Amino acid sequence: MTFVTDLLATVTRRSRQLIGWGPEETTRRSPADILQLADQLLSRRGEASGVALARDIISSYRALDAKGRTAVLGAVAERFAADHDKLQAAIADYQADPTAAATAQLHVAAEPRRQELVRRLNLAPGGTLSLVRLREDLLARLPDHPELKVLDSDLVHLFSSWFNRGFLVVRRIDWSTPANILEKIIRYEAVHAIRDWDDLRRRLQPEDRRCYAFFHPQLDDEPLIFVEVALTTEIPGAIGPLIAEGGMPVAADEARVAVFYSISNCQDGLAGISFGSFLIKQVVEELKRELPKLATFVTLSPVPGFARWLKQEREAEPSELAAEDREALQLLDKPDWRANTLAAEWVDRVLARAAARYFVAAKSPGGRPLDPVARFHLGNGARLERINPGADLSASGLRQSHGVMVNYLYDLPRIEENHEAYAERRAVVTSAAVKKLAASKS
């Protein structure tokens, strides 16, 4: 193993070199100059000069201000489309005689020249990370610049191939992980913020905690996505106790449940390139191997779209909510409604039923569940297992879902089947309990 391990280090080492580049090494260039370099890069046949050109383009782009970057992105999207004359000719040839060769020719002619440009930029040291960062820029501009959409498609197409699963590596993150990586875990945690190094340590060091991340050889020390896990004896119904200070850890050996309580994507520039499903499945397998007594793998997940949907339904006619339930939910409009324990219990019961309806009935125009987290886990083949009202009493938890969280269950033998059901029929797979709840009346 060591021979290959060792040689792999070189891949990485090379890709580091660009990362530390600073303004002093960069010639300042105008967007027009950069585009001219891109022209050269596409036309040159010498690969050695290609690497130098790619490096120059990338570092010049990074030295631009926001306006300059927008200009470059727009010009690339426009200028490097497929050559329409060549394409028309290829179509004519194909229609004259639709041979395999003519089809291949047509395929080549229809490819936007942007893709070849991006492929050549990728040869620069650190090129892949630079292109991921460039897509961050692009995505931020997309709402105001729909003309960038075509370039985004090109990037997605190429990223999907470069970040193919064969190169993703899951790594346990623990307290002996290098600090420069841990610092990114703190920064990228998107679900339950990590306050400082002590808070981080609480999530990594106790024997009932695990954290795993995906890495890619050309992205070095940059995690792509990570998941935080708590080992427990029961399926948890609230997030507070899981991330609180103090508390005795469960002995790893006595744990029966692994709870995925936070999943964070790290690279905005990789939005839409999905790794989460593989990460969860690999982590499930890794945990099973390490702790064979673990029997249940669930998430404890937020329900980000619930409060918004509920607001609509409370006013809609007809509504998914029964009249009594709507009445009960008026309590939500009072500040501090949870202060009255009895009332809170009552409302929580109604919220649970409403949430069940939300998952089962609320659909996007395309017929998929409205809730993005539900789409992610159901798409992975998980089952909606349990609805937990009063599970997240933080300000953001109350705001987005009135405190409701849910558990999705990853039952390995059923994952494939659930996934197919969702992929083929958009089926929302739920436990009997959730089904019953959705069908219940007040």
Nearer to a second copy, 47 or 65 (CB): 47
Report how far residue 123's alpha carbon sits from residue 107's, in angstroms, rounded to the nearest whole number: 24
Nearer to a second copy, 45 or 441 (CB): 45
Whether 377 is catalytic is yes
Whether 156 contacts 147, CB under 8 Å: no
Q: Which of 60, 128, 388, 400 touches a second copy by CB under 8 A?
A: 128
Q: Which of 65, 85, 96, 179 touches a second copy by CB under 8 A?
A: 179
Between strands 257-265 and 296-299, the pairing is parallel
Helix (H, G, I), strand (E, B) or coil at 70: helix
Nearer to a second copy, 108 or 439 (CB): 108
Site for a second copy in 88-107 (CB under 8 A): 91, 94-95, 98, 100-101, 103-104, 106-107
Site pattern 186..205 for a second copy (x: CB under 8 A) = ----------xx---x----
Report how far residue 148's alpha carbon sits from residue 63's, in angstroms, rounded to the nearest whole number: 20
Part in contact with a second copy (CB under 8 A); list of ranges 5-13, 318-326, 331-339, 346-354? 5-13
Whether 338 contacts 351, CB under 8 Å: no
Tell whether residue 267 is a contact of a second copy (CB under 8 A). no
Residue type at position 346: W
Site for a second copy in 271-290 (CB under 8 A): 277-278, 281
Q: Which of 123, 238, 331, 393 touches a second copy by CB under 8 A?
A: 123
Report how far residue 277's alpha carbon sits from residue 8's, in angstroms, rounded to the nearest whole number: 26
Site pattern 361..400 for a second copy (x: CB under 8 A) = --------------------x-------------------
Residue type at position 161: S
Count of chain residues binding a second copy (CB under 8 A): 80
Which of these, 259, 265, 289, 291, lies nearest to 277 by C-alpha position? 265
Part in contact with a second copy (CB under 8 A); list of ranges 64-72, 173-181, 299-307, 432-440? 173-181
**Cis amide bond preceding 236, omega within 30:** no
Q: Which of 23, 85, 97, 161 touches a second copy by CB under 8 A?
A: 161
Whether 84 is catalytic is no
Min CB(100)–a second copy separation in Å = 4
Residues 6+ apart with CB under 8 A from 186: 194, 196, 197, 200
Tell whether residue 39 is a contact of a second copy (CB under 8 A). no
Report how far residue 51's alpha carbon sits from residue 170's, in angstroms, rounded to the nearest whole number: 30
Report how far residue 80's alpha carbon sits from residue 38's, in angstroms, rounded to the nearest whole number: 9
Q: List the catalytic residues.
A: 301, 377
